[in-house]
Structure 1
Amino acid sequence: MPSYRSLARNHDFTALWVGQTISEIGSRMTMFVFPLVTYALTGSAMLAAASEALHLLGLAGALLPAGVLADRFDRRRIMRLASGSGVLLYASLAIAGMTGELTIPHLFVVAFLTGVGAGTFAPAEISAVRAVVPADELPTALSQNQARLHVASLISAPLGGVLFSITKWLPFAADAVSFAVSWLMLGRIRTDLSPSPYDGPKRRPTRELAEGVRFVWSRPFFRVLTVWGALTNLTVNALFFVAVLRLIEGGFDAWSIGLVEATAGLAGIVGAVLAPWVIERTATGRLTIAIAWSFVPLVVPMAFWNEPAVVAAALGLGMLLNPAGNAGISSYRIAVTPPELIGRVQSTSQFASMSVLPLSPVIAGLLLSALGGGAAILVLGGLTALVACIPTFSRSVRSVPKPALWHADVPNSPASPLRVEPEQPMYTA
């Protein structure tokens, strides 16, 4: 398997990765600051939560049509349009803040539209990665993308807090700069990111969207991953929420609770560095099943000891293997997807995950109120175990071998992915 060093020589992937790492830090920082600014202006916790909810709503709503766009138009232009709109939108908030004209409607509109931009960007980016990275380097590339997310998670909140303490509009100005860097780096990509020419009958967006959904739902492997991905996001994130809310109820200092998220972020970075090594030596299907069960035993110490150090250790251990599992199975899924469908397949999967994510804090709050912290964590651990049975009992997931074997069937040329029959498992054991 190629190393991080060999992938770094890929000019186009480096340009894409660097730009998005900076932009990801800026975006997560702004998501941390949005509720703070809203609360400072209104004193309402409900309106503070609404700003982030509007961003998630815009993101989820844009994903499915964005998949169609990514399979029809130049992905570089789509990504640069999304980044350019981020520059303008966040700059408008910074200017309004500097002039004392920042209002809640303005803040909410920007939160929603930047969510739309993020949802538009995502399918185009994954299609671009498939275009600029050879199939045998996909696990390493997606491991680096996992590292990017954890680095952003680790840095964004402290950075946002510092900038917000200086002046309320400064985080928005910094995010506008981060989007500008992304826009510039995207312009350095040399690979043609346009879809293959199409000479068939006139295409209808709704029909193309339905084609992507049918592709996912008609193939056991894709169907299982989509259902499992959405449900495991729901249960594991609810587990995170209960653990943190329980610490807050326990009266622990804010810095000690922040240590939990910092530990999870550091563990994710370490896991992302180790991911290519793990992926290379483990059958991808077995690795996916291991990820599905990884959080289940960790609920026991969290249920019986409501201490920041215990929660940090448990969540950190859970995050160690997560980047390898995500990168491994995502690499396989991208490699075996026809290039003309990558945008729609990716957007369908992301939409399924994002559409249930807002339910996580609701479920966490209800269980915590009704059962108490320890019982709520045990119940969510049981639900996570039930969800883990989905890939465990799926032959189409269990039978996926190591990358060295599945890459033997996937040409290095991104234009020639492996084709599979609709109702057959991807590989036999």
Structure 2
Amino acid sequence: MPANTETNPSVSVSNADLGISSVPAQSSKARSPWRTPHYAMWFTADTADVFADALQTFALPLIAFELSQSKFVAGALTTLSMIVMMVLTPIGGVIVDRHDRRTLMIGQGLGQLVVGALLAVCVATGTLNLPILVLSVLAPGVISGLLGASTDAILRSLIPTDLYAKAQSVREGREAGVGLLSSPISGVLYGLFAWLPMAVAAVISGVGAICSCLLPKQGMAGVVDDGMTGNDGADDGTVDAEASAPGDDVEAANIGSLASSFACDFAAGWKWSLTRRTLPWIIVFGAVINVAFAGLETGAQLMLIARGVSAFNIGLVFTGMGVCSLIGSLIAGRVSDRLATGHIVMLSSLLTFACFVPLVFDSGYGTVLVCLSLIGLLLPSLNASLFGFMYGRTSEDMQGRVSSVFETLVGVFGACAPFAAGWALQYLDGGFTIVAVAACALGLAALLIAALSPIRDIPTADRWEEYVL
């Protein structure tokens, strides 16, 4: 299948030509995202958000159990928070595309600060009750659903497109590091005082809000149409009131505002995302591979618990995945520079499938440890390349909505995988083998999707702007 390239000259227009002091539009292959203005401050704010969320995620179920003395209540509250976040994420995508993303990032940090501080004070003073707990559990889901996409969306205006893969590889390393450190740190803090993880999370959220304040408004000097939407050959369904209303023509501006109503933007985001050439295939690929991995990971964990494997040894499996992910993130940037993104996706899918296969024939602890750890080694390069391309080639005014569409569709199916794996282990003979076979089937399907769809032809990062999203 020949690559479908774009030739619209508007892509080559630099920000300097538009009168904006921002990241250069020319190729940045030899540069690092750390050398671009504001990236370090954005990364600090993003890391604060991720680390604070990890501390809260660890501590909230423990606090809920201490209050209710019910495992069901603790698990149900956590699940409810996830459901609220998933329901609100599509709405949040529109909000992010209609408002200043720096302001939304600040609001997210301050919101997490308030929730953490409130819960810490209530736990410390012994005044925590069920209504306050429910509010404290649901509030992070509401905040993440409505404002969470702003952090990813603002990055589009801070770094050039061809640095997205390197930036994503840095984030993969950060995610692995936070995953390795957050649980032990939160456990130690909780062991000292039950309120301490929430207090520390509140402080870290405040630091993130401060760093967000230091970012430029809307990423640079406001949203600038870089021609990508037009290059892909489709309108996003919104109308710029100022563009349609020269001078002070109030009536024309009102018409433009009406056309850009919230409902119109919401529908336009889904229509735009699902009518691209490559993006729908990326969504399908992400959903399939996510279901396979989430189901297998949960199935392995539950199977080891049922066999009486110690919590320490089960933890080693996730530690192995975290360590391998950290190692993989260190080479992800170089891999994305040297190999075409489509080839990286196909190779990663093939190797992931190869890691699934041994678990069909052997469910021993050693096999589980090695196979799941090796999968962790492959994911950073896959995520850095494919998702770097997806966000890098999405026009700035569509970042929030594209992110929400992707997260919603991938997340809904991914959320079903643990339930299905648990059901198979509970009610079917040879349950884990069935889960492993299903993971292999899905892994093979993901490989075929990558090989037979436009994903296959996505070029290297320095040529992403030539390829249709």
TM-score calculated relative to the size of structure 2: 0.83
Tell me the CA shift for residue 318 of structure 1.
0.7
Q: How does 1:322-361 map to 2 (within 5 A)?
A: 322-361=379-418
1:137 is aligned, of 158, 163, 173, to: 163
The range that moved more, 88-97 or 156-165, is 156-165
The answer as to whether partners of 1:75 and 1:124 remain within 8 angstroms in 2 is: yes
Q: Which amino acid aligns with 2:262?
A: P
Secondary structure (helix, strand or coil) at the match of 1:101 reads coil
Tell me the CA shift for residue 310 of structure 1.
2.8
Q: C-alpha deviations, 1:3-38, integer Å up to 9, x for none?
A: 898322334111111222133122112212222221
Give distance in 2, aligned partners of 1:81 and 1:308: 45
Decide whether aligned partners of structure 1 residues 380 and 33 sit closer, same or farther in structure 2, where only a CA change above 3 A counts. Answer: farther
Q: Could you tell me the percent identity over the aligned residues?
A: 26
Tell me the CA shift for residue 389 of structure 1.
4.3
Q: Which amino acid aligns with 1:242?
A: G
1:250 — aligned with what? 307
Tell me the CA shift for residue 374 of structure 1.
4.0
Tell me the CA shift for residue 405 of structure 1.
2.7
Q: C-alpha deviations, 1:368-404, integer Å up to 9, x for none?
A: 1213354134322333234314523433111111123
The range that moved more, 71-80 or 105-114, is 105-114
Give distance in 1, aligned partners of 2:339 and 2:403: 24
Decide whether aligned partners of structure 1 residues 214 and 318 sit closer, same or farther in structure 2, where only a CA change above 3 A counts. Answer: same
Decide whether aligned partners of structure 1 residues 253 and 209 sit closer, same or farther in structure 2, where only a CA change above 3 A counts. Answer: same
1:151 is aligned, of 177, 196, 199, to: 177
1:391 is aligned, of 444, 449, 462, to: 449
Give distance in 2, aligned partners of 1:381 and 1:57: 24
Q: How does 1:9-24 map to 2 (within 5 A)?
A: 9-24=35-50
Give distance in 1, aligned partners of 2:291 and 2:165: 25
Tell me the CA shift for residue 140 of structure 1.
0.8
Give distance in 2, aligned partners of 1:146 and 1:117: 23
Give distance in 2, aligned partners of 1:77 and 1:390: 42
Q: Which amino acid aligns with 1:251?
A: G
Q: C-alpha deviations, 1:267-324, integer Å up to 9, x for none?
A: 1111111111111111111212233333322233334444444322211111112111
Give distance in 2, aligned partners of 1:209 and 1:119: 15
Give the number of aligned pairs.
Answer: 411
2:292 counterpart of 1:210: no
Unaligned runs of 5+ in 1: 410-417, 421-425
The answer as to whether partners of 1:242 and 1:376 remain within 8 angstroms in 2 is: no
Decide whether aligned partners of structure 1 residues 5 and 267 sit closer, same or farther in structure 2, where only a CA change above 3 A counts. Answer: farther
Runs of 4+ with deviation above 4 angstroms: 1-5
The answer as to whether partners of 1:132 and 1:191 remain within 8 angstroms in 2 is: no
2:457 counterpart of 1:402: no
1:108 — aligned with what? 134
Q: C-alpha deviations, 1:167-217, integer Å up to 9, x for none?
A: 221111111111111101111213643434642412211111111111111
Larger Rg: 2
1:195 is aligned, of 223, 248, 251, to: 223
Secondary structure (helix, strand or coil) at the match of 2:185 reads helix
The answer as to whether partners of 1:84 and 1:180 remain within 8 angstroms in 2 is: yes
Give distance in 2, aligned partners of 1:3 and 1:25: 30
The answer as to whether partners of 1:259 and 1:308 remain within 8 angstroms in 2 is: no
2:436 — aligned with what? 378
The answer as to whether partners of 2:172 and 2:329 remain within 8 angstroms in 1 is: yes
Q: How does 1:308-327 map to 2 (within 5 A)?
A: 308-327=365-384
Give distance in 2, aligned partners of 1:306 and 1:225: 31
Give distance in 2, aligned partners of 1:60 and 1:4: 38
Decide whether aligned partners of structure 1 residues 311 and 2 sit closer, same or farther in structure 2, where only a CA change above 3 A counts. Answer: farther
2:78 counterpart of 1:52: yes
1:90 — aligned with what? 116
Decide whether aligned partners of structure 1 residues 264 and 5 sit closer, same or farther in structure 2, where only a CA change above 3 A counts. Answer: farther
Give distance in 2, aligned partners of 1:318 and 1:40: 35
Tell me the CA shift for residue 122 of structure 1.
3.1
1:281 — aligned with what? 338
Q: C-alpha deviations, 1:108-145, integer Å up to 9, x for none?
A: 22221111212233321122111101112111111112
TM-score calculated relative to the size of structure 1: 0.90
Give distance in 1, aligned partners of 2:158 and 2:350: 33
The answer as to whether partners of 1:25 and 1:155 remain within 8 angstroms in 2 is: no
